Structure 1
């Protein structure tokens, strides 16, 4: 449990960088590493290294970009990346203050570290960049439309076409992938117009790309239901009445 708490704190420090240090009340990273280490039973260098593990996902530092995230670290990314700075800070402060009344310990029991897929952030971005360049070379007469931030169940579409692409990256030459529920649902609906793009060896000189058209026709993914950590901010009826 202590290691999970360390990883959560390290993820917060990595993602929110100097803002995190300031909002936790530390004079700088050195002070943060030392104090956090004392509270959680780790050396300052261990705290720093675990922060560096997450750094390739964010623009602040290069971090350990040569090393793929562990399954435990991937689980932290999956469960906590959606939280705001303030929301994640509340959890971190609960950890550092050893708040026994918090719901955090119960929540952490549902944070599994057994996932086998690779880090979405770094590997996914490398794969998408590779695909964009590959598409421009192989299909110069077509315009690729970036839909990654639209939540439509695929990463790219083609102008004046029904064809769409979902890009998945692998750090090595082999490995499994994960579809979100939305992606898999859209794959079923679009059928032959849905291409799954697998970019392998994303961090090597032998990067390769394969395309699987209509993946829902022949792939049989295993359903996985996971617990998502959420932070809610409740306002009482009494407070609302006071400010009418």
Structure 2
């Protein structure tokens, strides 16, 4: 079933949120919003929001560097607005984000839209450095995830078992490792551009790290774009002491400085 409503005026913030949802969840998002094809989705959204179909598609493609399962503008860095959208929505589950998109397409005059519009429009220009950091961190993280999958397929990840990709689930980890010899293991991937650098945890990641204990693994790939090196830390909640940072009403993260990562390699 296609959501039926027409926005009175073009609303590019709504397009940005819908485009992010499509890029992050791909065909699952398409199906759960009731569309049969991408062309149908673009046409429907463009008619509701008063923008061209190509604009909706281009906004979705602009988020490609964030998601390894997407193929697109990998050489194009994220814009400040795209980085800001990701920072606001990365920690929201598929169901919650789908509900938000459905509400926004039904009517852009909602409390959620007014809040998002304020954050997307007013905070991007006032926080360019943070947007640049989010941009780099997201692209580096996606590269680290892809490299880890390649290493595991080649038997060089230091893990044994079936590696299940759960990155789209938003449950606080990237991969589930299944092995008959042990309980399921949760693996969270982080990447750094250089040999040293800190990493950030989302609230879900840190909460799961705390509750899963020794079944949770932090894998940090340093110099991911140059000469990658692997660092594996078991039970990071027991050995690391991140400091909580608040950025907006929609996001908080747990940051681990580079100094704490050294000396915590499990194997």
Shorter-chain TM band = 0.5 to 0.7
1:142 aligns with 2:160: yes
Note closer, same or farther for the CA distance 1:31–1:108 as it changes in structure 2 (3 Å cut).
closer
Give 1:199 deviation, angstroms.
2.1
Whole-Å separation in 2 of the counterparts to 1:124 and 1:211 = 15
Name 2:177's counterpart in structure 1. 157
**Cα-to-partner distance string for 1:143-190 (whole Å, 9 max, x where unaligned):** 134262676643233512258353323362254433233322332344
Are the aligned partners of 2:165 and 2:176 in contact in 1 as well (CA < 8 Å)?
Answer: yes
Secondary structure at the counterpart of residue 243 of structure 2: coil
Change (3 A) 1:168 1:120: farther
Alignment match, 2:86 = 77
Query: Which residue number corresponds to residue 234 of structure 1?
Result: none
Report how far residue 74 of structure 1 moved: 2.6
- 1:94-129 CA deviation, whole Å, 9 max, x = no partner? 56xxx5xx4222343355554644578765444233
TM-score (structure 1 length as normaliser) = 0.58
- 8 Å Cα contact 1:7-1:50 kept in structure 2: no
TM-score under structure 2 length normalisation: 0.54
1:196 maps to: 218
Confirm or deny: 8 A CA contact 1:13 1:20 kept in the other structure.
Answer: no
Count the aligned residue pairs: 202
The alpha carbon displacement at 1:196 in A equals 0.8
2:159 & 2:222 partners in 1: Cα distance? 26
| 1:220-235 superposed matches below 5 A | 220-224=241-245, 226-228=248-250
CA contact (8 A) 1:156 1:164 kept: yes
Quick check: which one's strand share is greater? 2
What is the alpha-carbon distance in structure 2 between the residues aligned to residue 221 and residue 49 of structure 1? 37
Partner of 1:223, secondary structure, is strand
Q: Which residue of 2 aligns with 1:12?
A: 18
5+ unaligned residues in a row in structure 2: which ranges? 1-10, 23-29, 31-37, 125-129, 252-267
Unaligned runs of at least 5 residues, structure 1: 37-46, 230-244
Q: CA deviation at 1:197?
A: 0.3
Q: Are 1:130 and 2:147 matched, yes or no?
A: yes
The structure-2 alpha-carbon separation of the partners of 1:56 and 1:139, relative to structure 1 and needing over 3 Å to count, comes to: closer
Asked if 2 retains the 8 angstrom alpha-carbon contact of 1:10 and 1:48, the reply is no
Structure of larger gyration radius: 1
The corresponding residue for 2:200 is: 178
Q: Deviations over 1:185-213 (max 9, x none)?
A: 332344455321012344x3533322223
- Structure 1 residue aligned with 2:115: 106
